[in-house]
Structures are given as C-alpha cells and as structure tokens.
Amino acid sequence: MIFKVEQDTCVGCGACESTCPEVFEVIDDKSQVKLNPVPKEFQSPALSAEDGCPVLAISHQE
Ligand code: SF4
C-alpha cells in the first residue's frame, strides 16, 4: 500500500503524525511519508491517519 500526502493541501496540523508516527512525519509544516510502501502492520493506523486528515491531503493506492 502506497501513501501520498498532497503537499499543496497539507496544513501541517500534525494529526497524521500523532496517529501513525511510524509512517508520517511533519517536516517544515508539511507531512512526509517516511515508509513507502507502508508495511502491513502499519496500514491500519495509516488508513486511520488518512481518515483523520482535516483537509483530505492523504491518499493511498493498493
Ligand atoms: S493530518 Fe493532513 S493536514 Fe495534518 S499534517 Fe497530516 S497530511 Fe497535513
């Protein structure tokens, strides 16, 4: 599963990093995906982070 953060949309709130710090890290007010493809054990929290993004900046592909 590949995750992507739309850099122009991300507002750097940090919610994704709080939910799944193994995958997301906010650097200079923009979230970066640290692990791609995302290993199975982190897919569920990464999807939760996607659901929790207030500006829908996170997307994924199988
Ligand atoms: S939750 Fe969304 S807006 Fe907030 S840092 Fe993560 S990607 Fe950016």
Q: Where are the domains of the chain?
A: 2-61
Ranges of residues in the chain with a pLDDT under 50 are none
Cα-to-centroid distance, 19 and ligand 1 (Å) = 10
Residues 42-53 have pLDDT tens digits of: 999 999 999 999
Cα-to-centroid distance, 53 and ligand 1 (Å) = 5
Q: How far apart are CA 4 and CA 61, in angstroms?
A: 9
Predicted confidence at residue 14, as pLDDT, reads 98
pTM given for the model: 0.96
Predicted confidence at residue 42, as pLDDT, reads 98
Amino acid at 9: T
Helices marked H in the chain — which ranges?
A: 15-19, 40-52
Q: What is the dihedral of CA 20, 21, 25, 29, to 10 degrees?
A: 70
- Which CATH architecture fits 2-61? 2-Layer Sandwich (3.30)
Mutate to test the pocket of ligand 1, among 3, 19, 58, 59 (most ligand atoms within 8 A of CB): 58
Cα-to-centroid distance, 47 and ligand 1 (Å) = 13
